[in-house]
């Protein structure tokens, strides 16, 4: 483990240089990794582990869409693809990659197979952190660990196939065997992490829920909508409003930020853009800072978890969700976006 300076703060980070794939294979050579759930994170993590030479099996409900997806991805019934109960029995490490609601529903099935010495692996700290809402309380004689890739399972798989790694966080909630650190880091390397930074289950879920509701999804969509609306109300066409709101950001500027940081992106824009950005950034920060403080408090108190669990427990939740997503999909801004994407040179 290395100490890396992040802006003057030293943090524990594990890289492939100090914990290479060969070491990860050696650590897990006698383990059976059972992936429970084949939805968002499951496919990417499972396929990367398999391609990296680990002993992986899938646990999924038979005759479901995700079972069929697993078959299409090459997992074979009775060999590497099993019903959830059987996969949990066979696995020495159970990667619990169902949705948060799915984890709550299936916990009694999984719990009975968590015999002493096994490991329970999460990619999200929700179930453990909000145990008063989820009732997910593992016994004291197993390892409880977390690897959370900082991106979707699709991105994890795509970057793996490109020979790159997606950074991930790791955490140890419970070390019953004395092997939890080696297990979690080996799994993090195995699923395709570029590097692993240390966190806790609570910090992971607090930052994750804040990020999803904030700059990663909720806030950015809200900002898109606000700017697009102002431009359209002032006579700008849908294509112009979309290009100035979304297209230039995602296709031109964010790649520069990803490459060398926001300061470097500023330095590589016009002096007019630099001056305006520097003059207005504090106004935007001051406007949204109270919203982010409210958001974090809602996450930390468990209010966001309670809202999520309550919504997912409603029998018509999926119908309501599809209606909300359909409204987003059919909004003028994203219909304009579809047309703009078709005009990209590579299309």
Instruction: Tell me the per-residue pLDDT of 116-126, one tens digit each, with 9 for 90 and over.
Output: 999 999 999 99
Q: State percent of the chain over pLDDT 90.
A: 88
73 by Cβ neighbours in 10 Å (0-12 / 13-18 / 19+) ranks as middle
Same domain for 277 and 313, yes or no, is yes
Same domain for 242 and 161, yes or no, is no
Q: Cβ contacts of residue 74 below 8 Å, gap of 6+?
A: none
What are the beta bridge partners of residue 296?
none
Residue 38 lies in a domain: yes
Question: Is the Cα torsion angle 83, 88, 90, 96 positive or negative in sign?
Answer: positive
Q: Cβ contacts of residue 47 below 8 Å, gap of 6+?
A: 73, 157
As a dihedral over the C-alpha atoms of residue 75, residue 80, residue 81, residue 83, rounded to 10 degrees, the angle is -170
Strand 93-96 and strand 33-36: pairing?
parallel
Residue 159 lies in a domain: yes
Residue pair 45/153 in contact by the 8 Å Cβ criterion = yes
Residue-wise pLDDT for 92-113, tens only, equals 999 999 999 899 999 999 999 9
Same domain for 252 and 317, yes or no, is yes
Residue pair 57/88 in contact by the 8 Å Cβ criterion = no
In the DSSP assignment, the letter for residue 61 is -
Residue pair 219/159 in contact by the 8 Å Cβ criterion = no
DSSP labels, 229-285: HHHHHTT--HHHHHIIIIIHIIIIIHHHHHHH-HHHHHHTS-HHHHHHHHHHHHHHH
Residue 204 lies in a domain: no
Q: What is the pLDDT of residue 7?
A: 82
HSE-up (13 A, CA, CB side) for residue 321: 9
Residue-wise pLDDT for 262-293, tens only, equals 999 999 889 999 999 999 999 999 999 999 99
Provide the whole-model pTM: 0.91
Strand 93-96 and strand 81-82: pairing?
unpaired
Residue-wise pLDDT for 143-197, tens only, equals 999 999 998 899 999 999 999 999 999 999 999 999 999 999 999 999 999 899 9
Q: What is the pLDDT of residue 345?
A: 85
Same domain for 126 and 242, yes or no, is no
Residue 16 lies in a domain: yes
124 counts as catalytic: yes
Residue 29 lies in a domain: yes
pLDDT at 40 over 90: no
Same domain for 244 and 171, yes or no, is no
pLDDT bracket for residue 4 (50, 70, 90): confident
Same domain for 9 and 129, yes or no, is yes
pLDDT bracket for residue 72 (50, 70, 90): very high
Residue-wise pLDDT for 286-313, tens only, equals 999 999 999 999 999 999 999 999 998 8
Q: What is the pLDDT of residue 287?
A: 96
Same domain for 173 and 271, yes or no, is no
Helix (H, G, I), strand (E, B) or coil at 94: strand
Residue 205 lies in a domain: no
Same domain for 175 and 219, yes or no, is no
**Taking residues 75-80, what's their average pLDDT?**
97
Residue pair 246/337 in contact by the 8 Å Cβ criterion = yes
Strand 33-36 and strand 9-15: pairing?
unpaired
What are the beta bridge partners of residue 174?
144
For the chain, what is the domain count? 2
Same domain for 238 and 172, yes or no, is no
Q: What is the pLDDT of residue 347?
A: 59
Residue 164 lies in a domain: yes
Residue from 124, 133, 236, 329 carrying the catalytic annotation = 124
Domain holding 280, by residue range, is 211-342
Same domain for 175 and 256, yes or no, is no
Number of neighbours of residue 11 by Cβ within 10 angstroms = 13
**Taking residues 322-334, what's their average pLDDT?**
95
Given 161, 177, 199, the domain boundary residue is: 199
pLDDT bracket for residue 6 (50, 70, 90): confident
Give me the CATH number covering residue 151.
3.40.50.720
Same domain for 321 and 232, yes or no, is yes
Same domain for 7 and 122, yes or no, is yes
pLDDT bracket for residue 43 (50, 70, 90): very high
Given 153, 179, 199, the domain boundary residue is: 199
Residue 73 lies in a domain: yes
Cα 146 to Cα 138: distance, rounded to the nearest angstrom = 14
Residue pair 14/1 in contact by the 8 Å Cβ criterion = yes
Give me the CATH number covering residue 249.
1.10.1040.10
Residue-wise pLDDT for 217-259, tens only, equals 999 999 999 999 999 999 999 999 999 999 999 999 999 998 8
pLDDT at 9 over 90: no
């Amino acid at each position: 483990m290395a100490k890396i300076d992040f802006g003057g703060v030293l943090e524990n980070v594990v890289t492939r240089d100090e914990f290479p794939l060969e070491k990860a294979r050696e650590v897990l050579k006698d383990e059976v990794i059972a992936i429970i759930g084949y939805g968002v994170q499951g496919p990417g993590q499972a396929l990367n582990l398999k391609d990296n030479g680990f002993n992986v099996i899938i646990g999924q409900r038979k005759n479901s869409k995700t079972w069929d997806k697993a078959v299409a991805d090459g997992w074979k019934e009775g060999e590497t693809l099993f019903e959830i109960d059987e996969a949990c029995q066979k696995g020495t490490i159970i990667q619990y990659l169902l949705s948060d609601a799915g984890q709550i529903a299936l916990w009694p099935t999984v719990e009975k197979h968590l015999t002493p010495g096994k490991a329970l692996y999460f990619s999200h700290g929700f179930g453990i952190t909000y145990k008063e809402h989820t009732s997910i309380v593992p016994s004291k004689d197993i390892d409880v660990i977390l690897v959370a890739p900082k991106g979707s399972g699709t991105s994890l798989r795509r970057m793996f196939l490109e020979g790159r790694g997606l950074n991930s966080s790791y955490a140890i909630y419970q070390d019953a065997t004395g092997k939890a650190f080696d297990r979690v880091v080996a799994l993090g390397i195995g699923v395709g992490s570029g590097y692993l930074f240390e966190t806790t289950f609570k910090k992971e879920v607090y930052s994750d829920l804040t990020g999803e509701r904030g700059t990663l999804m909720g806030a950015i969509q809200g900002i898109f909508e606000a700017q697009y609306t102002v431009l359209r109300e002032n006579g700008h066409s849908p294509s112009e409003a979309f290009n100035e709101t979304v297209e230039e950001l995602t296709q031109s500027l964010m790649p520069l930020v990803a490459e060398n940081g926001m300061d470097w992106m500023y330095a590589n824009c016009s002096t007019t853009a630099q001056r305006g950005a520097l003059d207005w950034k504090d106004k935007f920060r001051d406007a949204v800072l109270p919203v982010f403080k409210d958001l974090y408090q809602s996450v930390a108190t468990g209010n966001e978890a309670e809202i999520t669990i309550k919504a997912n427990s409603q029998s018509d939740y999926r119908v309501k969700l599809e209606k909300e997503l359909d409204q987003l999909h059919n909004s003028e801004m994203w219909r304009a976006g579809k047309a703009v994407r078709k005009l990209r040179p590579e299309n």
